[in-house]
Chains A and B, each alone.
Chain A
Amino acid sequence: MIRRARIALGGVAAKPWRARDAEAALEGGPVSPETFARAADMALAAAKPSGDNGFKIELARRIIVRALQLASDGTPPAMPALPASVFSTAPMGGDHAA
């Protein structure tokens, strides 16, 4: 079960913001792809594109789902090459080897 959730988005609009409705919706819910997708939809429900940035709405939705997946998986043994990436290349430091 999700006890607490915090979602902040940056780089997709004029200023960063917290997705408080989505956070609230997550809390108390089960850890599942469906819960994550619902929260992501909620976080972007009011988003409006301007000009060429329409893709960022769908990208943000997918990144929220990915971030929630990563958060629920716990600290990875290796740091991904990009924050939202599943590329695992550089060890986190310390001995995480099983």
Chain B
Amino acid sequence: MPLEPTSATPQRRHGSNAGQPLTRRDGVLKVTGRATYAADNHPEGMLYAVTAVSSVARGRVTALDVAAAKAHPGVVEVLTPSNRPPLAQDPDQKMGPFGFRVEVLQNDRVRYVNQPIALVVAETLEAATQGAALLNPQYEVEPARTGLQDGERFTPKAVGVGGPPSSAHGDLKAGFDAAARIVEAEYTTPSQYHNAMEPHAVVAQWDDEYLTLDMPNQALVMSCAAYAAYFGVPAENVLIRSPFLGGGFGSKAIINGPQLLAILAARMLRRPVKLVLSRAQMYGPVGHRGRTWQSLRLGLDGEGRLTALHHRALSATSSFDEFLEPAANASLPLYASPAILVEHEGLRLDIGTPGPMRAPGEASGSAALEVAIDEAAATCGMDPLAFRLNNYAETDPADGRPFSSKALRECYSKGAERFGWAGRPLAPRLMRDENGLLVGWGMGTAVFPCPHFPAQARATLRADGTALVETAGVDMGQGAWTALAQIAAEALALDPDKVELRSGVSSLPDGGVAGGSGHTASAGLALHNAGEDAIAKLADLAITNPASPLFGAGNVGVVARSGRLHRLDDEARSESYTDILARSGGAEVVGTGIMARDEATVAAYAMYSHGAVFAEVKIDPDLGQVRVTRLVGAFAAGRIINPRLVRSQYLGGMIWGISFALLEEAIADRRTGRIMNADLAEYHVPVNADAPSLEAILVPEDDPYVNPLGVKGVGEIGVTGTVGAIANAVWHATGVRVRRFPIRVEDLLARDDAD
């Protein structure tokens, strides 16, 4: 697998430490086992908590054998609805933009399988586990609503995180009336679970009214406020330490019931409590990507141009809360159409509430849209790339705003060239390899928005010429520690080796949310501004001091380079940071910064990362086994801070796309609502053999508008485009158009050899 950069290593830039493919700062710690994750913490006197979870999807718990559990040696306490201590915040109320209704033993109702119905706390994990087993719950069972046939439909107020449930522009009816051809099809995507390698874990310690939490967390400061509200203490009393996350993918940005219960137990028992969910217990209370049923209708004129685009999505949620996969919104920013309508409907099922999971909506919506576009191209007898170029959006299709930058054409051309797209036969089932396997080529367009989150940072220039930069950011494995340090080092004009980054602790300046692929831009901008502020303060010390070679340079200004300040008009006149600080009594200089953008610019431009993904599949004609043999993605996401880490993000996203297209699906028993494959043996994710050849091309793009750093998001875009590209390659190989994800062997077996 060619994981090494395909382009030459970038030149070391003078005056800039960003743009270099530095290796991860935390890499050695991780590969030598010295990185401590939340569950590695064992404070003195710690107890172990295990949740007892419901095995039915809907009904009431009528009995729990608490006496049997309590009689088990080592069991300290059993929390049930009858003795659960009160919370200061109603768990049935949603708090803030990422707030969800949480299941914390409010009552005896059961609303989904794996809902916590009790918490057993014991001196050992074994005793707690056995205690939970001894509870032997009895239920009054009601029929589980598990699918389209019995779910309750509703019109949502919002989709995703506060997004509009429908958007329209242009005259849809006129668009379809004018169409020479109409392509219409329905697509489904399954329940998917984040399945981070590291399970959700917490070690909770109370010291009087102060709470310390060791837990993997994607939104440190925001979570502190939420926990403070639930426990009725000031937010500054809550400390979250989250130095490392073994994956989050959206599921660790949200408060969940089991962790709240463990914190409650720690307060109740006045001892530290640890809770680690089992793999199976992660299928319910900690979110998932909800199922979608999507329909797309495309109007096309005689020249293969869209006249109308109508995308509808029915998105599953729980019976008691809403998070609707905003799948149809994927059709808003990509293809030029004079009329676009996107609409969502909700479906209530007896499941845990879905949540944001890597590219929520963008991934599932792109999967359907990119297949529909392929179908439209085929209907028009056009090459799928030519069709996409024919419908290229020069401005935001939804509102006509210009793009802040959009190097999608270059992505198409560079990706197609590298893949060898030219010469692809239009018709399916025409290519075979030397072993007789069917070969197919498909493509998809990738797109992802550029959300920014409020963030703050602090930069301290130290007397020894090094710097400390701080923000409560989150390294989920994406390399944030490294990229954020590079940004700060650039602003401070120091080598990254001289910059210490402190992050991952909530007592630091708010680093915002590691989500929406916006962490590097948001926390990075705060760090950049903090660094610039520190340099400005350092410059003030020099230019106001007659003993400095920079004295009086206030009017012409100074520039920072490699640990020295230089006069702008005479660079030979300079002074080192250490000399300036020494003359000032060795004091440190502290700068602060926040994520700040010109709001008028933000409003004036449509901002997206773009990409093009090309896939080759080989398929056994008799058995329907599919292998993705090649994936080439070309992505443009503004300025690249660290090409090594960015390439990893793209490759990871593309592998996730393989997973979505061919493997991932949580299957619920229609009779009981129980997930039948709630483990990593049966919930399939790709292994190395599933991803033989991957290549990500970093297409240069300069974005002067998105933010002062020119940085866009790279984390989630790789999933989009890839799913459709693989599905389209499967069609090209076999002639079978599969509109249900994941694509299964049985979808390809049924084919009659006659076209």
Contacts and interface: CB of A to CB of B under 8 A. Distances in A.
Interface of A: 55, 58-59, 62-63, 65-66, 81-82, 84-89
A59 B618 contact: no
B623 A59 contact: yes
27 contacts: A55-B746, A55-B749, A55-B750, A58-B749, A59-B623, A59-B745, A59-B746, A62-B622, A62-B623, A63-B623, A66-B622, A66-B623, A81-B689, A82-B625, A84-B620, A84-B623, A84-B625, A85-B620, A85-B623, A85-B625, A86-B435, A86-B436, A86-B620, A87-B437, A87-B618, A87-B620, A88-B435
Given A62-B623, A84-B625, 20 more contacts: A55-B745, A55-B750, A58-B749, A59-B623, A59-B749, A62-B622, A66-B623, A81-B689, A82-B625, A84-B620, A85-B623, A86-B435, A86-B620, A87-B435, A87-B437, A87-B618, A87-B620, A87-B627, A88-B435, A89-B692
B697 to A, nearest CB: 25
Contacts of A81: 627, 689
A85 B624 CA distance: 10
Interface string B602-642: 00000000000000001010111101000000000000000
A85 B745 CA distance: 13
Nearest to B621: A86
Nearest to A59: B749
A5 to B, nearest CB: 20
A51 to B, nearest CB: 9
B522 to A, nearest CB: 42
B746 to A, nearest CB: 4
Contacts of B436: 86
A37 to B, nearest CB: 12
Contacts of B618: 87
Residue among B437, B618, B620, B745 with max Cβ neighbours from chain A (10 Å): B620
A52 B622 CA distance: 20
Given A62-B622, A66-B622, A86 B437 contact: yes
Nearest to B618: A87
Interface string B716-755: 0000000000000000000000000000011001100000
A88 B434 CA distance: 11
Nearest to B624: A59
A65 B621 CA distance: 13
A81 B749 CA distance: 19
A68 to B, nearest CB: 13
A55 B620 CA distance: 16
B665 to A, nearest CB: 12
Interface residues of B, number: 16
In the complex, the 3 A-B pairs of residues with the closest C-beta atoms, listed nearest first: A55-B746, A62-B622, A86-B435
Contacts of A88: 435
Contacts of A65: 622
Contacts of A58: 749
A88 B435 CA distance: 9
Give the interface centre of A58, A82, A86 by most chain B CB atoms within 10 Å.
Answer: A86
Nearest to B667: A52
Contacts of A63: 623
Contacts of A89: 692
A35 B276 CA distance: 56
Contacts of B625: 82, 84-85
Contacts of B750: 55
A59 B622 CA distance: 9
A90 B392 CA distance: 42
Nearest to B436: A86
Interface string B412-437: 00000000000000000000000111
Contacts of B622: 62, 65-66
Contacts of B745: 55, 59
A62 B622 CA distance: 7
A94 to B, nearest CB: 21
Interface in B205-234: none
Contacts of A59: 623-624, 745-746, 749
A30 B444 CA distance: 49
A81 B626 CA distance: 11
A43 to B, nearest CB: 16
A82 B618 CA distance: 13
A85 B622 CA distance: 10
B662 to A, nearest CB: 13
A62 B625 CA distance: 12
B733 to A, nearest CB: 14
A55 B745 CA distance: 9
Nearest to A56: B746
Contacts of B437: 86-87
B330 to A, nearest CB: 29
A58 B745 CA distance: 11
A30 B623 CA distance: 24
Nearest to A58: B749
Interface string B510-549: 0000000000000000000000000000000000000000
Contacts of B620: 84-87
B675 to A, nearest CB: 16
A82 B79 CA distance: 48
A82 B750 CA distance: 21
A66 B622 CA distance: 9
Contacts of A85: 620, 623, 625
A33 B711 CA distance: 60
A65 B436 CA distance: 16
A72 B258 CA distance: 56
A38 to B, nearest CB: 17
A14 to B, nearest CB: 14
Nearest to B629: A87
Contacts of B435: 86-88
B370 to A, nearest CB: 26
B347 to A, nearest CB: 21
Contacts of A55: 745-746, 749-750
A47 B349 CA distance: 34
Nearest to B744: A55
B41 to A, nearest CB: 41
A87 B622 CA distance: 13
Contacts of A66: 622-623
Nearest to A55: B746
A89 B618 CA distance: 13
Give the interface centre of B622, B624, B689, B750 by most chain A CB atoms within 10 Å.
Answer: B622
Nearest to B747: A55
Interface in B429-449: 435-437
Nearest to A54: B746
A62 B17 CA distance: 58
A17 B627 CA distance: 29
Interface string B671-702: 00000000000000000010010000000000
A89 B629 CA distance: 11
A66 B623 CA distance: 9
B579 to A, nearest CB: 61
A61 B623 CA distance: 10
Nearest to B689: A81
Contacts of B623: 59, 62-63, 66, 84-85
